[in-house]
Structure 1
Amino acid sequence: MSPEKLRKTVVSADSQEIVAAPDLPYRPQDPQSYHPGIGLIGCGGITKDHLRAYRAAGYRVLALCDLNLENAERRRAEYYPDADVYQDAGDLLARSDIQVVDIATHPAVRPRLIEAALLAGKHVLSQKPFVLDLDVGERLVALAESCDRKLAVNQNARWAPHFSYSREAVRRGLLGDINGLHMSVHWDHRWVEGTPFAAIKHLLLYDYAIHWFDMVNCLLNGQTPVRVFASMTRTKTQTLMPPLGAQVAIEYEHAQASLSFDAATMYGRQDRTYIAGDQGSIFSIGPNEKEQELTLYTAGGIAQPQLIGSWFPDGFHGAMGELLCAIEENRRPIHSAADNLFGLSLCFAAIHSAETHQVVIPGTIRRLPADI
C-alpha cells in the first residue's frame, strides 16, 4: 500500500469530520534584535547545510576555522565570501566580535573546544552527539552555567516540519498525556559503503538513531524511562560491516516507545511516526524523513496541516535560531546540552543492550565503548 493510500485509509477509519489544523509555531524562529557575530569551527561535509541555512536566515557568520584550511576556504567561497578563515580555533575564539560559535568537529575533539569556547565567553552550539561520556557532558553543562553562557546541541531533527509540528502539539497539550510513541524508518543506507561511516559498528543506533532518541526524549519530556532493550541484525545479503537492522523498546512507568530501523530497503521506502495520547494522536508518514504528511486526531475532528519546509535546511536554521532566541530572552534553549544528556542516555543504553542482549536502565551506561 502506498503512503498516500495508507494515510487515506487511516483517516477514513476514524470516521470523523475534517477540521482546520491548529496554527502552531513549528517554523524556525529568529531573534528580534540580537544579531551576533558567529564563528564556525570545523568545516566538514555537513557544514554546507549549516551555512546554507544561516545565509538564508541572514545570520552574521564572520569566521570559519578548520585544521585543513582548504575546507574553511571552500566554505567561505561557497557561502560567506567576506568571512575570515583560520586554522587555529584559538584565533577565532580570541575575537571579541564573535559571540556565538558553532562547533562541528568530530566528537573526540569537541569537548575541549566547547570548554575553550565557554571560557572565552562564547555561547555554543555543539554538533551531535554532544559527548561520548555523560560525565564529561555534565561537567560541560556545569561549566556553561558557571560562565553564564548558553550551551545547546544541534539536534536539528526537532525542526523537521513534521517533528516540529508534533512537538508543538504535544507541548500545548493537544494530545493530553502521551501513552505511546512509535517511529519506524525503512530506507537504504548502503550508500555509506566505501566511506568512513562504514567503519562505525553501531552505525544505526549511534550515528543515525541519535536523532530519534532525541525526539523520544523531546516528545516524552517529563517522563522518566525505566528500561531499554535493543537488538541488531545483519541482513542476509549485506556486505557492510555495520548491521543494517536495529530495533529499540523503551519502557516508561506510564508509556512506551519503540524505534525500528530497516536500512537495506530498496523498494517501498517509508518513514512513519505515531504518537498516541489520551486526548489525541498524531500520525505522520512519507517516503523519507524529509517528505511527510501529518494527520492530527482529536475529539474535535481530523486535521491535516499543509506543512511547508524540509528537515534540510530548516533543521539547521531552527537549531541556531532557537539558541539565538534563548540568548536574547535569557532562557534555557529547548535543545540545551542539559536536556540532550537524557537523549544520549537512551542511546548509550540501547547500544549496550544490543551488545549484551540485556535490559539496561538508562543512565547506568556512562560512556560509549571505544569501538562504537
Structure 2
Amino acid sequence: MAPINVGIVGYGSSAKIYNLPFITPNPDLNVYAFLQRAAAPDPKTATPGSHCTVDFLNAKHYQSADDFFADSNIELVIVCSHPDTHAQFAEKALRAGKHVVVEKPFTTTTAEADRVIAIAKESGKILTCYQNRRYDSDFLTLRHLVNENAFGTVTEFENHYDVNMPVWMARNKTIEYTPGEGMTFALGAHSIDQALLLFGKPASVTAFFRSVRGVESEIDDTFTIILQYSGEKKNLLVTIKTAIATPMQHQLKTFVRGTKGSFIKFGTDVQEEQIFAGEIATNKGFGVEPTSTHGLLTTLKEVDKSQTYQEESKMYHGKFPSIKGNYVGYYKDLVAAIRGKRELAVNPQDSREAIRVIELARESHKTGTTIQWS
C-alpha cells in the first residue's frame, strides 16, 4: 500500500522537534509538502533547520495557503502553526478533503473546536489533535496501573508538568491575555487531557493562576486546577499543576492515592530531551527512562515482582519499571485509523473538553469561585 502523503503547515519547533522525528521513521507516511511563508534561501549558504527546502529536498514548498490546500496529492495535513491559526487551517484542510492533525492546543476556544469538529463530521475525514503526551513513559505506566486496578478506587490524583523558568516563558512580557496564551494552553493542554482521559469530565472546576516570572501579567505561567466529581466519583479530587519556580533535580510528575495503593513519580519523559540530543526515535534505547526516575508503587497486595513485602507497614513497596515512551506510536495509530484498522486514538471531542476546562478555570480564577461544568 502506498504511503500517505503528508503536508505540514509551519516549520518551527513544533514541526521540526515534536512531529517530524516521529513521522519520518514511519514507512506509511511520506513527507510530501510544506506550507512555509518564508522564501527558500540560497542552499549554498543556508544552515540545516533554517528552512524546509534545506532539510527536505524532495518535498514541495508552498508559500501560499490556497496553493497548498489545493494540492490534491496531500492526504494528511498536520497543523504546526501558531495556536490562533489552528482552527483556521484545520477548517481549510477539511474543506479540501484532507485528514487533519492539529498540534496542541487543539484550538483557542471551544467555539472554534465545535465548529471544526462539525466540519470534520460533514467531510467524513479524520480530525485529531497531537496529544503526544498520552504516549509519555510516565503516563503509559500510570494508565497501565490504573487499568490493572493497582490503586483500588482512586481518591486523589495530582498531575504535574513543571519546568523551572523556561526561557521561552520567562521572556514573555505581554500583559494582556488573549485566548491561547499562557501555560494552561502550552503545557496544561497535555496534563488536562491526561486527567480527562483517566477520569472523564468533572462536575466542577476551581483554579488559581499566577505570574511569577517577574511581570504583572494576565498570562499565567503557573497554575493549579482542581477538578471535582460527582456520583460514584464524588470522593475523587484531581489536581493539575504547572509551576515555573521549581528548582528540583527531578520534577514531581505524578502522585496517586487510592483505597488499595499509591504511586509517586518524579522525572519527565525523556523523548523530548533525546530528540534535542540528536537521537533517532527508532533507536533501541529511545524513550527508555533511567531506573532512578521509576515511580514508587505501594500496595496492599502484590501487583508486580518489583515490589517487596515490608513487615513494618504490612504493604508491598517497589520501584515500578516505567513503560517505554512511544511518540512514534502516535503516528502508527493514526495511520491505522486512516486505513480503517483501528479507532482513532485521540478523539477531537476529548481535546475540546480540555479547552473547556481551561475556559472554566480562567473564569474560576477571575471570579474566585468554583465553576460548575457546562
TM-score interval, normalised by the smaller of the two chains? 0.7 to 0.9
What corresponds to 2:87 in structure 1? 111
Q: Return the structure number with greater helix share.
A: 1
Does the Cα contact within 8 Å between 1:73 and 1:85 map onto a contact in 2? no
Tell me the distance in 1 between the aligned counterparts of 2:354 and 2:73. 33
Deviation at 1:159, TM superposition (A): 0.9
What corresponds to 1:62 in structure 2? 32
Extract unaligned runs of 5+ from structure 1: 1-32, 364-372
Tell me the distance in 1 between the aligned counterparts of 2:10 and 2:345. 24
Among 125, 130, 136, the alignment partner of 1:149 is 125
What corresponds to 2:191 in structure 1? 212
Q: Percent identity?
A: 21
Among 59, 70, 86, the alignment partner of 2:62 is 86
Q: How many residues align?
A: 322
Deviation at 1:122, TM superposition (A): 0.9
Aligned positions of 1:152-231 closer than 5 A: 152-171=128-147, 175=151, 177-192=153-168, 195=171, 201=177, 203-221=182-200, 224-231=201-208
Specify whether residues 122 and 95 from structure 1 end up closer, same or farther in structure 2 by C-alpha distance, changes over 3 A only. same
Deviation at 1:124, TM superposition (A): 0.6
Tell me the distance in 1 between the aligned counterparts of 2:250 and 2:174. 21
Specify whether residues 239 and 83 from structure 1 end up closer, same or farther in structure 2 by C-alpha distance, changes over 3 A only. same
Specify whether residues 94 and 243 from structure 1 end up closer, same or farther in structure 2 by C-alpha distance, changes over 3 A only. closer
Extract unaligned runs of 5+ from structure 2: 42-48, 271-288, 307-318
Quick one: which amino acid aligns to residue 161 of structure 1? S
Tell me the distance in 2 between the aligned counterparts of 1:216 and 1:76. 39
Does the Cα contact within 8 Å between 1:125 and 1:320 map onto a contact in 2? no
Tell me the distance in 2 between the aligned counterparts of 1:349 and 1:60. 40
1:226-270 deviation per Cα after TM superposition (whole angstroms, max 9, x unaligned): 1111112344x8347445432121101112200233212234451
Specify whether residues 42 and 196 from structure 1 end up closer, same or farther in structure 2 by C-alpha distance, changes over 3 A only. farther
Length-normalised TM-score, structure 2:
0.75
What corresponds to 1:42 in structure 2? 10
Tell me the distance in 1 between the aligned counterparts of 2:132 and 2:33. 22
What corresponds to 2:209 in structure 1? 232
Deviation at 1:218, TM superposition (A): 1.2
Aligned positions of 1:1-372 closer than 5 A: 35-49=3-17, 50-58=19-27, 59-70=29-40, 74-78=51-55, 80-171=56-147, 175=151, 177-192=153-168, 195=171, 201=177, 203-221=182-200, 224-235=201-212, 238-239=214-215, 241=217, 242-253=219-230, 254=233, 255-278=236-259, 280-286=261-267, 288-290=268-270, 292-296=293-297, 299-302=301-304, 303=306, 304=319, 306-307=321-322, 314-315=326-327, 317-329=328-340, 331-363=342-374
